[in-house]
Amino acid sequence: MKLLSMVFLMAVGTGLAQQPAANRAAWMPAARWGVMNHYLADWIAKTTHEPMTVERWNSLVDRFDVEALAGQLKSAGAGYYQISIGQNSGYYLAPNATYDKLTEIQPSKCSRRDLVADLYDALHQRGIRLMVYLPAGAPAGDAAARQALQWENGPHRNREFQVKWQAIIREWSTRWGTKVSGWWFDGCYWPNTMYRTDDAPNFATFAAAARAGNPQSAIAFNPGVFPRIFSMSPHQDFIAGEIDDPAAIRIRRGSDNLIDGAQIQILSHLGEQWGTGSPRFKIEQVVEWSRKLVNSGGAITWDVPVQPGGTMSAEFMEQLSALGKELKR
């Protein structure tokens, strides 16, 4: 507890000292559109019908072809790329000593390879920015991690959990530094209970942990699926904008490219479900909805299924390439 208290005090101090900066997401309108991949251990296990183990996870992450993926993104014209660090399974695609120490899970479910760092190297050479995805809660499918991190699902303060989770985020942020241009935090479903408090931990310390390695890192907090896009907190830089039906997008602009101080952005999926299935839209629809966001000064991120080897299938590449060509006009 002494170590946690020290980490907590550091996070509080950094959060309170942090001053508002120029829009950290100001690069998004020029980037216009990006691609997200959910590269998740439990999803891969389900689609391949093979159980996931630490050995298999490390083997998968080791074989992820960052050069091939970066080449696909470059050929399609994507301005940025976002990947899941992990989600509900408790498996993560980068090392984190703080997570291992706090959960005491052995062998570690954090991969040996730092896939985020390797992705940056391949993407940076091609002028593509890198962003990361992480839930705001503990991995729901890992009972040992939930207990160790003291996570209670639902509208609870979760003070002890937040202190630990922010320490974990802080380590990843300092590891990657300026390699990561943004963080997309999922599952901020109870903001009034957990984050909109005067006393720490809160939105301020949450954001400070994510920006520990890069003060210019753009942050979004996701409240769930809503047709109308809106900002959750003055501590975020762009709107999470999760939406299942892109045709239902409603944009009520404030000033310039912002809504209530946050950069316009939405995230939806090209497949039938998040990270799975065949293309569900005609390319004309994808172009229409994407152009709507771009013309509003915003950016749009399309979630695309990723294969275990780290590349996207030909049917989705056809759509992405057509989108890039049309938006380039």
The pLDDT, as a whole number, for residue 249 is 84
Q: Which residues of the chain have pLDDT under 50?
A: 1-20
The pLDDT, as a whole number, for residue 255 is 58
Question: Rounded to whole angstroms, how far apart are CA atoms 96 and 155?
Answer: 28
The pLDDT, as a whole number, for residue 22 is 63
CATH, domain 30-328, list 3.20.20.80, 3.90.1170.30, 3.40.640.10, 2.120.10.30: 3.20.20.80
Overall pTM surpassing 0.85 (yes/no): yes
The pLDDT, as a whole number, for residue 228 is 84
Q: Which residue has the tokens 């507890």?
A: 1
Whether 161 and 149 have beta carbons less than 8 Å apart is answered as: yes
Q: Where are the domains of the chain?
A: 30-328
The pLDDT, as a whole number, for residue 226 is 87
What is the torsion angle, in degrees rounded to the nearest 10, for the CA atoms of residue 41, residue 191, residue 214 and residue 75? 50
The pLDDT, as a whole number, for residue 83 is 98
Tell me the one-letter amino acid at 19. Answer: Q
Q: Tokens for 82?
A: 């976002």
The pLDDT, as a whole number, for residue 2 is 43
Strands 182-186 vs 262-263: parallel, antiparallel or unpaired: unpaired
Average pLDDT, the chain: 92
- Cis before 201 (ω within 30): yes
pLDDT digits (tens, 9 = 90+) for 188-205: 999 999 999 999 999 999
The pLDDT, as a whole number, for residue 147 is 98
Question: Rounded to whole angstroms, how far apart are CA atoms 126 and 102?
Answer: 37
